[in-house]
Every structure is written in structure tokens, then in C-alpha cells.
Amino acid sequence: MFIKTDCNAVEKMIKQLYCTAGAGMEELLAEEVQQKLCATQVEQIPGRVFFCINADLQNVTQLKSAERLFLLLHKAEPISLPNNPAKAAAVIKQRVVGDPDIWRQTFLTWTSLQQELQCCQERGQKRKREDEEDSLHAPSFRVSCRCSGVIARSYTSQRLSRIIGMAIKEDLGWKVDLREPVLEVNVYLSDDHCIVGIPLLKNPLASRSYMKHNGLRSTIAWAMSSLCPKKLNDCVILDPMCGVGAVLLEAAQEYSNAVFLGMDTDVSQLEKAAENIKASGMEGRVQLLQSSAMEIPLADGAVDAVLCDVPFGRKFSCSSDMPTALPRLLKEMERVLRVGGHLVLLLSLQLSAQLKKTICAQEHNQNVNSLETKNVHTDLSNTHYESTDTTDTPKLLTVHRSSSETSNTPLLIRSLQAQKKHRVSLGSTDAFIHTYTKIQT
Ligand SMILES: C[S@@+](CC[C@H](N)C(=O)[O-])C[C@H]1O[C@@H](n2cnc3c(N)ncnc32)[C@H](O)[C@@H]1O
């Protein structure tokens, strides 16, 4: 028997979901589900955010900071497994699989949600109706287990996946299908958590269909505009090192009344950016220009916000050594920013440290020449600038000329107030998103 679901009825159902998130993105994701979905029971743990909604599931698919979306089946206390495989299998049956009725009910909910997703929009692959009917009572499944901590010392993820799969098969009578299962059962076992969920979408939420050429990870690109101190509607927004345009396109979707300008010295990057812009349908709102960020061809105060993913490492070359170029780059971005505008920079840890060396915090009325006096930290690695991450009073910045420049006089950017500093993971390395507001001096 196939249960035909009324989409409106599913919409009213409370759904217990969770999303995975990159390191440093959990807090932003928790805020996003609260703001955009009015989610309740929001709880974040490293790498995951749990929440309940009775909103349309289609809205959940629009989340920008999440990696993947799951229907929660089971969230329990962490388990410890004996080394003896038979005893371990018994613990898994009891603690990871638990009550078969919960699995059956969750599968029904998952089926309804799949229909809701298809009702609203033909997303993902629609399975054949007969397959659905066949699999209603005994869906085929595959287990993907990830483990860390103590358990990972005795068991590999693969071995655990097999043990859990056997337990589900025995207790529920579901069929294992490693190639094309109806259900993918995701299990996460760590020293702190035992979580079981079922993905609701085939593709990650983080993959954007219009990005024909990938640049900065979309979730991080989105975080840059999201961390901007103020909403950026009716604005002119500049990315002076735009690459393939990931930052511009994430911001363009978030701020529908803003217009965007992307610059890059590399024509091939600009060509890819143009293709991405076309695929996203944003041609009318995003302009591109070949130009150097070191000499931005715009008048003083011409833009309302500057968002910039500053290159580092070997992948992107820069005409000058970036740590050396950073003060000039910063000065140029500050120049084209209007008073009240915002600057958001994504900097590698190394460039952040460089910024820390070349920039020191100052009080509003502090005299430049009294840097070494009693009011100022003489050890720059300990300056107050570092502690502006959260609630501290914003500080003013002083950029010193790089050693290659002739004068020893500090090059003041008195107008930039540090707001926040947020650490995120780029996969193989971490980076900081720094935010500033330009004030009248
Ligand atoms: C880290 S990538 C930006 C990646 C971009 N966020 C994306 O999603 O593709 C930095 C970009 O800066 C560009 N670039 C390097 N030096 C530059 C300069 N002086 N002026 C403008 N762009 C520059 C590189 O060509 C590269 O495309």
C-alpha cells in the first residue's frame, strides 16, 4: 500500500532535522535556521546543528551556511564498544539501532518529506512509483558510519558500518544495497555523541548549481556577507579580487537590491566569473572589470561595502608578495569605501598574523607618535586588536608602511573600526573573516 501524502499536511508536521556544517560555521547556521525558518530546539555541536521546524521543507533547502540536510532518527548518549565483535554487535543493536518502530516511523516521515520536496519542485531523482511501493515496508539501505575518539581506535568506520547494517537487517528485515539503496543511513559515533540520520537530499545544500567554475567554498563566501555588520540592500558592493565570483554571487542572492562590481587582474578568472554570473541569472546586477586591487579605478567613497577573499598560497599568484602588499591593498579598499560602509576580508592565518604585525589597535584620540607610551601594548602579538572578536569596543587601526617603503611614519587608517573576527575552516586550512566599518575621522 502506498501512502499518498497531502503536502499541506506534511507542511504542518514538526520535523526534527539536522544539518552538517564546516568548522566555524555552526553558530552562523544556528542563527540562519532561527531567522529564516523560525526553528525551535536549536542545538549546535561541532560540525552539526539540530533543529525542529514546521515550516515548508522547501525553505530548508535554501539554507546557505549548511553542508548537508538530514532527518534525525536518533540522538543519544555516546556509546563505548567492547573489543569482542559479538559483544560490540549486541551493544550496537541495543544503543544504535534501538527500537525498530522508531526506524519504521522515521522511514514513513522521510517518504512524506521526499514527496513534499517533489510536490514543491521536482528536485533530485524521482524514484519509480513501483519501487516506492515495494520498498515501503522494507526499504533497501546502506550504512555510512563516521567515528572518532576512543571507538575509532578499535573499529574502522567500514567495520562499524557493516556491524550496524547487519543489526538493522536482523531487527527490521530491511535489505542491504550498497549500490543504489533507497535509504542512506548516516551514523556518527564520537566520544560525545551517537547520532543517526537519513539525508533528505541527494546533493549537498552547499553545492550551488550555477557555479560552473568553483571558487571559494559557497558557505564561506555566504558567511562573508552574512558577517557584514549591516544589511547591504540598496548598496554598491565591490570585490576587488573576485576570482570566479563566489563571494559576489552569494552576496547578490542575499541582497536582492544591491549592485555588484567584481575586479581581478586575471582575464581567465573573469571569464569564468562571467559564466557563473550568467548561469545564476545575475547578469544585470554584477559587472566585471579587469583591474588591480592595488590601484582601484574608482573615486574615493564610491562603494558601500568591500568584500574580499585575499589570495594566499600557491593557487593564486599575485603581482606582489601578499604580506608586503597587504597594507597598500587595505588602504586602497578603505579609500573607495564610503564613510559608514563595511569592509569584510577573508585572510589566511598567515595573513591575519601579518595584519596583526602591521596593524596595531589605537584609541580614537591617541597620538600616532605615542605608540610606545604607557597606554599601548608594546608587544604587538598581544595587542587588544586580537580580542575584538566578539563584544569588545571596536578599535581603530594603524597600518605601518611595509619595510620596502621609505618612510617610517605609520600610514594611518584611522577610519577603519575593527568589528569582528571569525575563524572558519577552508578544508585543508583555516582562515579568519575580519570585518571593519569605516567611520568619519
Ligand atoms: C583567492 S582568489 C579569489 C577567489 C574568489 N573568491 C573566488 O571565489 O574565485 C584571489 C584572486 O585574486 C586575484 N588577484 C591576485 N592579485 C590581484 C590584484 N593585484 N588585483 C586584483 N586581483 C588580483 C587572482 O587572480 C585571484 O583570482
Best mutation site among 214, 218, 242, 247 for ligand 1 pocket (most ligand atoms within 8 Å of CB): 242
Q: What is the model's pLDDT at position 358? A: 63
Taking the C-alpha atoms of residue 276 and residue 282, their distance in angstroms, rounded to an integer, is: 9
The protein residue with its alpha carbon nearest to ligand 1, atom 10, reads 311
Cα dihedral 241→247→249→252 (10° resolution):
-100
**Over 80: is that where the pLDDT of 372 sits?**
no
Q: Looking at the domain 218-438, which fold is it?
A: Rossmann fold (3.40.50)
Kindly indicate the confidence band of residue 292, based on its pLDDT and cuts at 50, 70 and 90: very high
The protein residue with its alpha carbon nearest to ligand 1, atom 16, reads 318
Best mutation site among 225, 239, 241 for ligand 1 pocket (most ligand atoms within 8 Å of CB): 241
In the chain, which residues fall in CATH 3.40.50.150? 218-438
Average pLDDT over residues 313-341: 81
Distance in Å, CA 308 to ligand 1 centroid: 9
Encode pLDDT of 3-53 as tens digits. Answer: 344 445 555 578 899 999 999 999 999 999 999 999 999 999 999 999 999
**Over 70: is that where the pLDDT of 376 sits?**
no
Q: What is the model's pLDDT at position 56? A: 84
Contacts of 129 (CB under 8 A, 6+ apart): 2
Distance in Å, CA 193 to ligand 1 centroid: 40
Q: Are 237 and 254 in contact (CB under 8 A)?
A: no
**Over 80: is that where the pLDDT of 134 sits?**
no
**Over 60: is that where the pLDDT of 2 sits?**
no
Amino acid identity of 278? Answer: K
Residue 192 grid cell: 560525545
Q: Is 410 helix (H, G, I), strand (E, B) or coil?
A: coil
Encode pLDDT of 185-203 as tens digits. Answer: 999 999 999 999 999 999 9
**Over 50: is that where the pLDDT of 119 sits?**
yes
CATH of 7-199, one of 3.30.920.30, 3.30.2130.30, 3.30.160.110, 3.10.20.30: 3.30.2130.30
Q: Is 77 helix (H, G, I), strand (E, B) or coil?
A: coil
Atom of ligand 1 nearest to the CA of 310: 1
In the chain, which residues fall in CATH 3.30.2130.30? 7-199
pTM value is 0.84
pLDDT, mean over the chain: 83
Pick the more confident residue, 379 or 368.
Answer: 368
Q: What is the model's pLDDT at position 313? A: 63
Kindly indicate the confidence band of residue 381, based on its pLDDT and cuts at 50, 70 and 90: very low
Provide residues with CB under 6 Å of ligand 1. 215-216, 240-244, 246-247, 263-266, 269, 292-294, 309, 311, 316, 318-319
